[in-house]
Structure 1
Amino acid sequence: MTQTYVPPFSRSDQSLLARWFWTVDRGLVIAAMVLMGIGVALSFASSPAAILADEGLSNPFHYSIRMIAFVAAGVGVMLGASLLSPRGVRRVAAFALVGALLVMAVLPILGNEAKGATRWILIGPFSLQPSEFAKPALIVLAAWMFAEGQKGQGVPGVSIAFAFYAVTVGLLLIQPDIGQTLLITTTFMAVFFMAGVPLKWMAVLGGLVMSGIFSLYFLFDHVRERVAKFLAPGQEDTHQIDRASEAIRAGGLFGRGVGEGVMKRHVPDLHTDFIYSVGAEEFGLILSLVIISLYAFIVLRGLSRAMRLNDPFEQTAAAGLFMLIGLQAAINMAVNLNLIPTKGMTLPFISYGGSSMVAMGLTMGLALALTRRRAGAYEPGTGRRPAPKLGRILP
């Protein structure tokens, strides 16, 4: 019997990859991969200058080579995670969060200290930052627990979500990592709000968060120092942010040209936290706007698809993950532009760093998995589900 030839990736092809191709949001996949490509390109611009700060390295493209490996791993994780079902997303998030918290718990004993913080654990030639993986995992688990709490079947979803949040934040403050704490708190609050919490509870939670932020100012010396540098730049040592600002201004509209940047030689952490300033100097405002547009596209398109989902868990989890990417990008660029005090936070998909790149791949992959077109996932027409009644999430 003659079999009919089915071209690969045609609509009649029922293979796993073909089904993925026709159900995933390819625009979001392309946008994320373009950002990763920009990250690789900027690593070649920043690596030779970054090597000057590390006397133990001789290869000028040491960081570039590693960046290519990190991007390959990030792409693999993103595509692999995007194949998951919603149940698979929950399972991966649960395992990732528990694993990340366990590693974070032993950091004070086995962790590697750098710049006054113990956030990494060394694994051979690589360093692992578990908090990067705790971020997307916590957001997915919180959305899951909030959704379970809405069902009214006796599951204390809100209590479980806040317990995991409290443990995560507590371990972050021990390191200490204030930037990640604020990012997780903001995204967690957004997920809590989208789950249908009464506004009075949001006001209470917002007050507690503001009190916590105010307390951090008095509890941590480096927080006070960074706030002082931001508020009184002429009276404090602001070498790092000053050099980054000079690099951005020097780039102008079209930049100095590929490899022609000079300010990057004086910008600390230029290949990680301040990679944005490197790109702005060599490629100008044009590249800056391209980068901002790509992040805006990912967030707005992602939120648009998330809000059309039927399932409360899928909706809030996907929206929370896209917001996590957007908020982290906004914080990093705001620091580079001297709009907020400095924070040790990478630019998603672009900054050098294995943990950051793989974790961002996981974040994007989980969001893509939740927003894939599946039978019954989206309502016909607008696809928007009615907002849950106020107070439904709480007992």
Structure 2
Amino acid sequence: MVSRADRSLFSEWWWTVDKFLLVGVLFLMFAGVVLSLAGSPPVAERIGLDSFHFVKRHIFFLFPTIAILIGVSFLTPRQVRRAALVIFVVALALMFLTLFFGHEVKGARRWISLAGFSLQPSEFMKPAFIVLSAWLFTESTRQSDIPGNIFAVLLLAIVVSLLVAQPDLGQTMLTVIVWSAVFFLAGLSWVWIGALAGLAAGGIVLAYSVFPHFAGRINRFLDPSTGDTYQVDTALESVLHGGWFGRGPGEGIVKRVLPDSHTDFIFAVAAEEFGILLCILLVLVFAFIVVRGLSHSLKNEDAFVRLAAAGLFLLFGVQSVINMAVNLNLMPAKGMTLPFVSYGGSSILALALQMGFALALTRRRPETGRLTLRRMRPAGAEV
């Protein structure tokens, strides 16, 4: 048992970190291992690998994931900001190199090999970018002579340019949505709102005109007869096949022909084998993490902490909603993982960094103003 009288670094962390948020994230990690056992063997067998190849790798990545989550949560807000700057610069450099030296998969260059591991730099860029944007918005409001909003827009333009060049329109949309939400929370004027809305609409129209695969996904969503909807249709069949209580662990049938059952469509596998009730539980856990995190962040008196933490939890929540909506055919298909549940080394490590930042920012800290007042107040004086 950790005593409150103990002034060690671990004791301070233990009594200030939100344990409910931590348990929620760890629950999702555990669910990811269980669902990896359900969804990944058919995929591994189809491509000639050992049945538990992806399960073993998922568990292998789980150890550094937990270490990153816990370790990063020890940081102070200033250390979070500095770490985000370093990670952002490195991730941008790797994203640029990926365009020339990355692996091409289905016409996209998003992964680069480092020390024998395949890394997706854009996954690590997202949380760092949100933290830096929050800091720039905060500085813009604190000091009118610092053009923080302009710098934030320039950073967004650089990030969007690199993502579109890969191309990765799903991550582009996710990043822009969350960045815009943080900007809104920072108190942007209606002029900015109108300009951003116009740019977003123009960007969607341009992407529809320039990228055939993007246009194809929207067309198939609006009218399934215009193209191949096999994966989405199979995912829906998997959900319906499970009913309320599922067919049981390892008893899924439709999952065996679902191409990305271990990554983008793991939610459909959960529905088939464990039922709609488990899916509802997962939705509730995701919602709990986001709502509790936003509640903590919006109560914080530090503007930077408030914006950065809110942005990180929104990033987590929007990504979750997009993945589950695609599984249920509620929006056009996008290659996006379900946080901590889907298989993917870069994804789970980057999410650990993201939620580590969020836990660090939402830790309970003494209010500086009140502490100063108490020190200055004479003994026995009334408030």
TM-score interval w.r.t. the shorter chain? over 0.9
Residues 122 and 377 of structure 1, relative CA distance in 2, 3 Å threshold:
farther
Q: Which residue of 2 aligns with 1:43?
A: 36
Does residue 65 (structure 1) correspond to residue 56 (structure 2)? The answer is yes
Does residue 224 (structure 1) correspond to residue 215 (structure 2)? The answer is yes
User: What SS class does the counterpart of residue 52 from structure 1 fall into?
Assistant: helix
Cα offset, 1:351, TM superposition: 0.6
For 1:68, give the aligned amino acid: I
Q: Which residue of 2 aligns with 1:337?
A: 328
Q: Distance in 1 between matches of 2:9 and 2:115?
A: 35
Q: Which residue of 1 aligns with 2:313?
A: 322
Does residue 128 (structure 1) correspond to residue 119 (structure 2)? The answer is yes
* Cα pair 1:309 1:378 within 8 Å, conserved: no
Q: Which residue of 2 aligns with 1:289?
A: 280
Q: Distance in 1 between matches of 2:357 and 2:43?
A: 33
Q: Distance in 2 between matches of 1:256 and 1:377?
A: 55
Q: Percent identity?
A: 49
Q: Distance in 1 between matches of 2:133 and 2:115?
A: 33
Q: Which residue of 2 aligns with 1:351?
A: 342
Does residue 168 (structure 1) correspond to residue 159 (structure 2)? The answer is yes
Q: Which residue of 2 aligns with 1:157?
A: 148
Does residue 80 (structure 1) correspond to residue 75 (structure 2)? The answer is no
Q: Bigger CA drift: 276-285 or 159-168?
A: 159-168
Cα offset, 1:155, TM superposition: 2.1
Trace 1:363-382 onto structure 2 (pairs within 5 A): 363-376=354-367
Trace 1:1-395 onto structure 2 (pairs within 5 A): 8-55=1-48, 57=49, 59-152=50-143, 154-376=145-367
Q: Distance in 1 between matches of 2:185 and 2:370?
A: 18
Cα offset, 1:228, TM superposition: 1.4
For 1:46, give the aligned amino acid: G
Any unmatched runs of 5+ in structure 1? 1-7, 381-395
For 1:38, give the aligned amino acid: A
Q: Distance in 1 between matches of 2:351 and 2:228?
A: 32
Residues 178-205 of structure 1 show CA distances to partners (whole Å, capped at 9, x for unaligned) of 0000000000000001111112321221
Q: Distance in 2 between matches of 1:176 and 1:189?
A: 21
Q: Distance in 1 between matches of 2:368 and 2:109?
A: 42
Q: Distance in 2 between matches of 1:132 and 1:147?
A: 24
Cα offset, 1:153, TM superposition: 5.4
Q: Distance in 1 between matches of 2:347 and 2:195?
A: 32
Residues 40 and 358 of structure 1, relative CA distance in 2, 3 Å threshold:
same
Q: Distance in 2 between matches of 1:136 and 1:83?
A: 17
Q: Bigger CA drift: 202-211 or 345-354?
A: 202-211
User: What SS class does the counterpart of residue 225 from structure 2 fall into?
Assistant: coil
* Cα pair 1:258 1:282 within 8 Å, conserved: yes
Q: Distance in 2 between matches of 1:49 and 1:12?
A: 53
What is the RMSD computed on CA atoms of the aligned residues? 1.4
Q: Bigger CA drift: 62-71 or 170-179?
A: 62-71
Residues 170 and 378 of structure 1, relative CA distance in 2, 3 Å threshold:
farther
For 2:337, give the aligned amino acid: T
For 2:344, give the aligned amino acid: G
Q: Distance in 2 between matches of 1:370 and 1:116?
A: 38
Residues 79-115 of structure 1 show CA distances to partners (whole Å, capped at 9, x for unaligned) of 1111000010001110111111000011121100111
User: What SS class does the counterpart of residue 46 from structure 2 fall into?
Assistant: coil
Q: Which residue of 1 aligns with 2:378?
A: none
Cα offset, 1:131, TM superposition: 0.4
Cα offset, 1:269, TM superposition: 1.1
Q: Distance in 2 between matches of 1:198 and 1:328?
A: 27
Cα offset, 1:30, TM superposition: 0.3
Cα offset, 1:207, TM superposition: 1.5
* Cα pair 1:97 1:138 within 8 Å, conserved: yes
* Cα pair 1:310 1:378 within 8 Å, conserved: no
Q: Which residue of 2 aligns with 1:386?
A: none
Comparing both structures, which one devotes a greater share of its residues to helix?
Answer: 2
Residues 271 and 127 of structure 1, relative CA distance in 2, 3 Å threshold:
same
Cα offset, 1:66, TM superposition: 0.6
For 1:355, give the aligned amino acid: S
Q: Distance in 2 between matches of 1:108 and 1:92?
A: 25
User: What SS class does the counterpart of residue 17 from structure 1 fall into?
Assistant: helix
Q: Distance in 2 between matches of 1:277 and 1:74?
A: 24
Q: Distance in 2 between matches of 1:373 and 1:259?
A: 43
